[in-house]
Amino acid sequence: MPLFELIRDAKHLVVFTGAGVSAESGIATFRDALTGLWERYDPAQLATAEAFRRDPALVWGWYESRRLQVLKAQPNPAHRAIAALARQVPELTLITQNVDDLHERAGSPEVIHLHGSLHHPRCFACNRPIALEPTSVAVNGPQEPPRCQGCNGRARPGVVWFGEALPERAIRTAMDAAKRCDCLLSIGTSGVVMPAALIPQVALEAGANVIHINMQPVECRADNEHSLIGAAGKLLPALCQQAFPA
């Protein structure tokens, strides 16, 4: 059966995205996000609470440089095709590992952020949300994080660091949807980071069709698992056009 028919006939479609879906918007994928000052760091070392404790300005500066990159970026055709799908299939659950807001800005009504967001920092000491001053000044180096009005603690990025638990509701809703769906699109993820990377597996074992869209081939272990090789911004709109001709 042609893959676009799996999307066309899906009663409940799960779309699961990684950094590859934002690559064509110019957002570096996680492992490429370390450029300039940060290029000598391993992201998995920098994206941790102890790196922040050790050097808050270095870590806060890295996230601010990424946040400003996102502010300047636009959603790409992949984000827009996903937003359109929500209006064409009976039920769609969008789950992202990304910390940008490009799905929201493309018009996706509900986005499950498994790893938090760059746009919602909070106090490292008391967890209060901390509002960010609007700024367009590019950040290319360490920057002291703002202080919490309530306890004067430092602001930390609103993301899930390595070694931190994922938001309980987000992971539970995501796993539920993976168990219930009849088709799951896994777009632009290397499937390394746990427990997010289990989601396509859960769908596959529950009998759903899983379609991977990635620049690299993804190893398929079952006949209901498929790998499409190419850029999300090209492949996804084409698939959706075949499934739901305008």
Tokens of 17: 């995205």
Residues near Zn ion, by CB under 5 A: 123, 125-126, 128, 148, 150-151, 153
Query: Shortest Cβ distance from residue 6 to Zn ion (Å)?
Result: 48
Of residues 32 and 149, the one with the C-beta less far from ligand BV8 = 32
115 classed as catalytic: yes
Give the CA radius of gyration of the chain.
18
Contact yes or no for 16/200 (Cβ under 8 A): yes
Q: Is 162 in the site for ligand BV8 (CB under 6 A)?
A: yes
DSSP string, 166-193: PPHHHHHHHHHHHHH-SEEEEES----S
Handedness of CA 123, 39, 42, 100 (dihedral sign): positive
Among 214, 228, 240, 243, binds ligand BV8 (CB under 6 A): 214
Among 30, 38, 52, 124, binds ligand BV8 (CB under 6 A): 30
Of residues 126 and 206, the one with the C-beta less far from Zn ion = 126
Of residues 110 and 164, the one with the C-beta less far from Zn ion = 164
Q: Is 176 in the site for ligand BV8 (CB under 6 A)?
A: no
Rounded to whole angstroms, how far apart are CA atoms 115 and 44? Answer: 13
Choosing from 103, 113, 115, 212, which is the catalytic residue? 115
Among 159, 175, 220, 238, binds ligand BV8 (CB under 6 A): 159
Contact yes or no for 63/16 (Cβ under 8 A): no
Contact yes or no for 106/81 (Cβ under 8 A): no
Of residues 68 and 125, the one with the C-beta less far from Zn ion = 125
Side-chain half-sphere exposure of 149, counting CA atoms within 13 A:
5
Three-class HEC string of 198-225:
HHHHHHHHCCCEEEEEECCCCCCCCCCE
Query: Shortest Cβ distance from residue 174 to ligand BV8 (Å)?
Result: 12
Of residues 91 and 197, the one with the C-beta less far from ligand BV8 = 197
User: Which residues are registered as beta bridge partners of 92?
Assistant: 13
Q: Is 231 in the site for ligand BV8 (CB under 6 A)?
A: yes
Closest CA to 187 of 233, 219, 224, 240: 233
Among the candidate windows 101-109, 120-128, 135-143, 210-218, which touches ligand BV8 by CB under 6 A?
210-218
Q: Is 138 in the site for ligand BV8 (CB under 6 A)?
A: no
Contact set with ligand BV8 (CB under 6 A):
18-20, 23-24, 29-31, 44, 47, 97, 99, 115, 159-160, 162-165, 188-190, 192-194, 196, 213-216, 231-232
Indicate which residues carry an active-site annotation: 115
